[in-house]
Amino acid sequence: MLTVVEALDAITSVVAPGPVESVPLAQALGRVLADGVDSDIDSPPFDKSLMDGFAVRAKDVATGTARLVVVEEVTAGEVAEKSLETGQAIQIMTGAPIPDGADAVVRIEDTEVEIDQQQTLVKIDTRPVTTGQDMIQQGTSMRRGDTVMPAGRRLRPQELGLLAELGQHTLLVHRQVTVGVLATGDELVTIDRQPQAGQIRNSNESMLAAQVRACGAVARELGIARDNPEDLAAKIREGLDCDILLLSGGVSAGRLDLVPEQLEAAGVTQVFHKVKVKPGKPVWFGTSEDAIVFGLPGNPVSSMVCFELFVRTALRRLVGTDPAIPCPTAARLACDFEFRGDRPTYFPGRLENQPDGPRVTPVNWHGSSDLRSTADANSMIHFPAGDQLYQARQWVEVHEWAGRA
């Protein structure tokens, strides 16, 4: 049986980044950049005032007080015509280019304007003025030719703003991944039905589809396949049109666990079956010519955890996100916790930021069928195999779940 690390390794070596497409910047939120982007400009593009005030020669105001002759006014979008001589100032607005000859800005609050018949004077009374004060130099944040964004970056509002500054109105991004979700089981009824004796509602389909969407991919809900070869084969065939097909249920050792054999019959080659992990041990993974297939265990928390560990890795890999494998954070346990288990366990927890750092509380979890407790959780705590009494405030490894609050 593979370890989690070996299983993740198998996924990242089998799955390669998928196709790319061009999209307008306005539609690129949440998409993943397929090509690195170089700057075609210096930013700021010129030495620029950070304040409304007066552009001066710092030397003229080295003591903090001076009376200077105002020779011009320059606002954002204009360029001063004059070059500043000793004893002169140019009134300047935030965002305007620093005039030639000036090397500092004195903010308007530290000045007083005096107008007499011949000229306008500015009286400055402030702390000693130094070169570069209240201005920003050309190219401070980036230079033309700098690589400012690597491929594999998921685009958030600030990336879109930066790409807009760079004039990248059309972006090369990875195509959105389509994920089919197929539930299996004779006991399942649709969520609008009242379950009869022995039946349960199909909760996995809704949950897995939502996990897919929370990862920025497109979910296609394929309904319920019954535990017979004909129905399974037909619905698997339909699902193999997707980039990824997720099945839930039918991968353990029961008489009606037909998923692995029906996948193989449909031309999907097994890469692994079963991982040393709790919950989620029976997880199945394989590939066909055009699709990646996961057989997730039917128990809802097993399905959910296997999605977070394995499916998310495949999704990240398909769109070139680096690293593709899950990255844990560290948090202190909120309470003593007695762990018993012979498999590495991903235990639902509630992660919170406290003034003294991140803290995680294991929720009252009753095992792989207990979906209810996961609604009180936002993460999973990784406990390595082996019985152990963990102490409150001890550091543990935590994986945040993808769902947005």
Residue ranges of E strands in 163-287: 170-174, 178-184, 188-189, 200-201, 218-225, 244-248, 269-273, 284-287
Smallest distance from the beta carbon of 185 to Mg ion, in angstroms? 4
Amino acid at 201: R
396 binds, among ligand AMP, Mg ion, none (CB under 5 to 8 A by kind): none
Give the alpha-carbon dihedral of 386, 387, 390, 396, to 10 degrees: 20
Contact between 177 and 30 under an 8 Å Cβ cutoff? The reply is no
Pick the closer one to ligand AMP by CB: 67 or 201: 201
Q: Which two tokens stand for residue 89?
A: 């100032």
Residue 297 interaction partner, one of Mg ion, ligand AMP, none, beta carbon < 5-8 Å per kind:
ligand AMP
Question: Vertex 179, ends 176 and 183: CA angle to 5°?
Answer: 165
Q: How far is the CB of 204 from ligand AMP (least distance, A)?
A: 3
Distance (Å, rounded) from C-alpha 158 to C-alpha 152? 15
Closest CB to ligand AMP among residues 117, 255 = 255
Nearest-approach distance from CB 251 to ligand AMP, in angstroms: 6
Q: Provide the minimum distance between the beta carbon of 184 and ligand AMP in the complex, in angstroms, as a whole number.
A: 6
| CA pair distance 262, 257, nearest whole angstrom | 10
d(CA 129, CA 32): 46
Residue ranges binding ligand AMP (CB under 6 A): 183, 185, 187-188, 200, 202-205, 248-252, 254, 257, 297-300
203 binds, among Mg ion, ligand AMP, none (CB under 5 to 8 A by kind): ligand AMP
Binder among 180, 239, 249, 279 for Mg ion (CB under 5 A): 249
Rounded to the nearest 5°, which phi and psi values hold at 363? -85, 170
Q: Residue 88 or residue 202: which is nearer to Mg ion going by CB?
A: 202
Nearest distance from residue 293's CB to ligand AMP, in Å?
16
Single residue of 185, 216, 260, 326 touching Mg ion by CB under 5 A: 185
Considering only 32-40, 296-304, 325-333, 357-365, which stretch makes contact with Mg ion by CB under 5 A?
296-304
Stretch that binds Mg ion, among 50-58, 166-174, 181-189, 392-400 (CB under 5 A): 181-189
CA 179 – CA 219 distance, rounded (Å):
5
Q: Least separation, in Å, of the C-beta of 227 and Mg ion?
A: 6
State which residue, 120 or 203, has the beta carbon closest to ligand AMP: 203
Which residues have a Cβ under 8 Å from the Cβ of 201 and sit 6 or more positions away?
188, 189, 190, 191, 193, 195
Least Å distance, CB 41 to ligand AMP, is 53
Site string for Mg ion, 359-378 (x = CB under 5 A): --------------------
Minimal distance, residue 224 CB to ligand AMP, in Å:
7
C-alpha span between 400 and 386 (Å, rounded): 23
Strands (E) in 4-86, as ranges, are 20-24, 37-38, 48-49, 53-56, 65-74
296: enclosing H helix or E strand: strand 292-296
Measured from the CB atom, the residue of 121 and 189 that comes closer to ligand AMP is 189
Closer residue to ligand AMP in complex, CB, 8/247: 247
Q: Give me 111's structure tokens.
A: 């000045």
Residues engaged in binding Mg ion (CB under 5 A): 185, 249-250, 298
